[in-house]
Amino acid sequence: MCGILAVHRVAEDIEAFKPKALYLSKQLRHRGPDWSGKAIRNKTILCHERLAIVGVDSGAQPITSEDGKLVLSVNGEIYNHLQLRQSLKNSYNFRTHSDCEVILYLYQEHGAACADLLDGMFSFVLYDQNKDKVVAARDPIGITTLYQGFNSQSPETVHFASELKALHPVCDKIIAFPPGHYYDSETNQAVRYFNPSWWDEDRIPTNPVDYKLLRDSLEAAVRKRLMAEVPYGVLLSGGLDSSLIASIAVRETEKIVNSKDTESEEARTIMSWPKVHSFAIGLPGSPDLLAARKVAEFLGTIHHEHTFTIDEGLDALRDVIFHLETYDVTTIRASTPMYLLSRKIKAQGVKMVLSGEGSDEIFGGYLYFGNAPSPADFHSECVRRVKGLHLADCLRANKSTMAWGLEARVPFLDKDFLEVTLNVDPKEKMYINGRKEKHIIRKAFDTSDEPNVKPYLPEDILWRQKEQFSDGVGYSWIDALKDTAELAVSDEEFAVPRKEWGSDIPDTKEAYWYRKMFDEIFPAQCADTVMRWIPKAEWGCPADPSGRFQASHVAHLD
């Protein structure tokens, strides 16, 4: 992934504005430390901060069409770019090996709706010089971050950037660009192109679970995400989700390495580091570290175990909020160890990792789902949570890793896999008849009745109870955050929330503390892009979002 900035119909002289645009783009350089680029056409400027993963030698951006009339800046990866090249009706002179260049020619043949043809995680802005317009788009779930900004003093100007910090100096209104949409400046409208069968929360599916299809589709999702020309690894917490992704990655890597076809794109991109590396973090002796070590030994990964102290976590909080651009309690709790781990991973020469985000939303894996009053309520909450991932776990995974120029790919959010999993009858997912959370994905990878199939995971890991990441790194992490917030926010201060917060009032001192830090870093217009996640009180859930506070949680001592 990378960092992108685009400003269309600049109000002032474009050459005079260029230094300001370059300064704004520089605020994103942590996302793309490998190279910087810019392109100016008429009153539009596109800037790009590059993290080179595919097409390393020739994929600098912005990318232009052969005649220079189309200019493209992309943040993300297009997994089906080779198939898309073959599908083009006309012949084009591709000038790079980048997976993103194909978007230029898809646009020529399909217009702005070409976004629907892309299989990947992406945000892009394309400038069409002939029509003097921009087209922007974001991937279906919002795995990559994208914001749109406006300035009331120049209402015709429209801004786009990967992070708020590149927009708030010049925009007095900022929105999170909606996932699964494209924007066309000609109509000044955002149009939803992503219309999957499961989108309607009130449509309750009735498909019986197909365990083979579940397994096959997740394996395919992992396989396509091994597309890289640089060393990669897996984030391994020792929980079900990351352990499954690691297991599949090991199997798929072995298939490619052992294949006789060493000239295929898959083989070329994987041979430089033919054994999977796994990375874990936690407080010393934490549940996740112990479980991850067991998984790594079972899978035979080259395992890297990192620890952090509570003081190191607390010291990083302000930087974490700066990079996350949120004050949501759950996100900050989980992002801090992920942020610290990402720095360690980048220092070890890795630029891409696979991660397990999305599974809990798809399968109702958070322990509070056990309180769902009906299958319909269970399913509607799953869909609602998937729709909100761009403001929660996707934001966390993207910004925690990209703070250090590390790309995180999330196979569970593959759109084909979503089509399978979110069309399963929710009765199959509910915590009934002694089933654990995420029963169907556990069962799909349970090979105990398949004597000729090598197990994917140790049985106790496959059936390990859900631990939210911020709990699994060590229970004393959240306890320390709460204790520190008690000291940082007085009772008198907590009793009088700030007027500018309106109805978005923190309900704990910890939440209040994070909001204070956010306000010290970002101006008021940035707060409109933040979503605070609060447990479902109507389901009888406790106020604290940690899974550890659910009645069904079984403690693992750290």
Closest CA to 136 of 8, 23, 14: 8
* SS3 label, residue 179: coil
* 152 marked as binding residue: no
Distance CA 178, CA 387 (A): 10
- Crossing angle (nearest 10°) for helices 329-347 and 310-324: 100
Distance between CA atoms of residues 37 and 48, nearest Å: 5
Alpha carbon distance 256, 151 (integer Å): 51
CA distances from residue 323 to 35, 80, 145, 164 in whole angstroms, order as listed: 20, 30, 12, 9
Which of 325, 385, 324, 316 has the alpha carbon at shortest distance from 344?
316
100 catalytic residue (yes or no)? no
CA distance 179 to 407: 19
How far apart, in Å, are the Cα atoms of 502 and each of 13, 176, 301, 478, 505?
A: 38, 20, 50, 27, 7
DSSP at 154: S
Does 233 show up as a binding residue in the annotation?
no
Residue 197 known to bind ligand: no
**CA R_g for the chain:** 23
Q: How far, in Å, are 265, 324, 541 from residue 332 at the CA level?
A: 38, 8, 20
Enclosing H/E stretch for 182: strand 181-184
In the set 2, 382, 394, 526, the catalytic residue is: 2
Known binding residue 356? Answer is yes
Neighbours of 1 (CB within 10 A): 29
DSSP state at residue 178: P
Asked whether residue 184 is marked as a ligand-binding residue, the answer is no
Binding residues, as ranges, are 99, 235, 281, 355-356
Binding residues for ATP, as ranges, are 235, 281, 355-356
Binding residues for L-glutamine, as ranges, are 99
The residues carrying an active-site annotation are: 2
